Amino acid sequence: MNLLVFGGTGRTGQVVTQSARTAGHTILAPTHADCNLRDTDRVSDLVLASGAETVINCAAVSSLETCLDDPLSAHLINAVAPAAMALACRHTGARFIHLSTDYVLDGRRPGKKSESSKCKPANIYGESKREGELQVLEALPGALIARVSWICGNPRKPSFVESTLAKALAGQPVAAIADKDSMPTDAADIARILLHLGSDPEGRSLSGIVQLCSTGEPQSWHSCALIALRHAVELGALPSLPALAEQKLAQATFFRDARPAHTAMEYSPRLAALGLTMPDAVTCLRRVTERYLAAKCCQSAQ
């Protein structure tokens, strides 16, 4: 298929474009320099001229503190630009898939959230992403919005899982927040499912909001780090399990905007019904650890 990917240089976008190339799709992936998403005319023109059968939007202002400092950019990039993409897709007939986040959900109570759970963003980032969901569906009701969470597994754009492993391998102290949970999700799994939903006739007919995340039990950053570190010990990359200090969300003064405590999502029943499986969170973290260690090994061999 002819595929247009926005945000192809990001943590998820890199994996989506790489997976699409490997699968033999023809890809157009404009960079930030090629197309600043603040310029909605340029965004629309690009979609209209692209000839793309599927447009996937992995671009966002994804840093919570950047959104806090610059709410106008958060609004423009996370809501207005995706709506312009959706509207242009309505004109061309292209399939439009937009990424959203578990941070749109009401995260005040523990427990996994279903696709019909209440939305109540706790920060500017979540507000802008929720606005994006609503604007995209208004512009193009047939669009698909995939809510994802705690993306890891791209060694070139390390998440907290890879950063913890890097610190432990360097012999530095490691610590993680233990009273906040979500579903860690491998970017490779996200890419696999997005490409199916963009190319398969049955997958292309799915619209609305789906939750695209690992299955199994919710994990805190602390439990994610522990699973990764234990696996690194099993694989012989670490001589023994380092002490992993437990932190509390309320003490995390390095965060300037609020983090919701409990946003773990249930994997979408509609995706499962299409036969699209996701690993459980523990398997996801073990695979991500293996990939990171393999990438480190290649780096040091060069």
Ligand X SMILES: NC(=O)c1ccc[n+]([C@@H]2O[C@H](COP(=O)([O-])OP(=O)(O)OC[C@H]3O[C@@H](n4cnc5c(N)ncnc54)[C@H](OP(=O)(O)O)[C@@H]3O)[C@@H](O)[C@H]2O)c1
Based on the shown chain and the rule CB under 6 A, indicate whether residue 129 belongs to the binding site for ligand X. yes
**Residue 188 Cβ, how far from ligand X at the closest point, in Å?**
13
In whole angstroms, give the CA distance from residue 58 to residue 296.
26
User: Closest approach of Cβ 221 to ligand X, in Å?
Assistant: 11
- Is residue 151 involved in binding ligand X (CB under 6 A)? yes
Greatest CA span in the chain, whole angstroms? 58
157 is a site residue for ligand X (CB under 6 A): yes
Which residues, numbered 96-115, are part of the site for ligand X (CB under 6 A)? 99, 101
Q: In this structure, which amino acid lies at residue 286?
A: R
What residues between 3 and 22 interact with ligand X by CB under 6 A? Answer: 7, 9-13
| Residue 148 binds ligand X (CB under 6 A) | yes
> If binding is defined by CB under 6 A, does position 58 make contact with ligand X?
yes
Amino acid at 173: P
Cβ-based nearer residue to ligand X, 168 or 190: 190
Residue 55 binds ligand X (CB under 6 A): no
Of 26, 287, 260, 297, whose CA–CA distance to 121 is shortest? 260
Is residue 38 near ligand X by the rule CB under 6 A? Answer: yes
219 belongs to the binding site for ligand X (CB under 6 A): no
Q: Are the beta carbons of 284 and 264 closer than 8 angstroms?
A: no
Task: For ligand X, give the closer residue by CB, 73 or 283.
Answer: 73
Between strands 2-6 and 54-57, the pairing is parallel
DSSP 118: P
Residue 137, SS3 per DSSP: helix
Contact residue for ligand X among 77, 193, 212, 224 (CB under 6 A): 77
Spatial separation of the C-alpha atoms in residues 11 and 155, rounded to whole Å = 9
SS3 262: strand
Q: Is 62 among the residues that bind ligand X (CB under 6 A)?
A: yes
Decide if 168 contacts 174 (C-beta within 8 A): yes
**CB of 149 within 8 A of CB of 219?**
no
* Residue 180 binds ligand X, judged by CB under 6 A: no
Nearest to ligand X by Cβ — which residue?
10
Q: What are the φ/ψ torsions at residue 157 (nearest 5 degrees)?
A: -130, 80
Residue 298 and residue 197 in contact, taking contact as beta carbons nearer than 8 Å: no
Interface residue with ligand X among 21, 22, 26, 32 (CB under 6 A) is 32
> Is there binding between residue 86 and ligand X (CB under 6 A)?
no
Q: Which stretch binds ligand X (CB under 6 A): 45-53, 59-67, 89-97, 193-201?
A: 59-67
Site residues, ligand X (CB under 6 A): 7, 9-13, 31-32, 36-38, 58-62, 77, 99, 101, 129, 148-151, 157
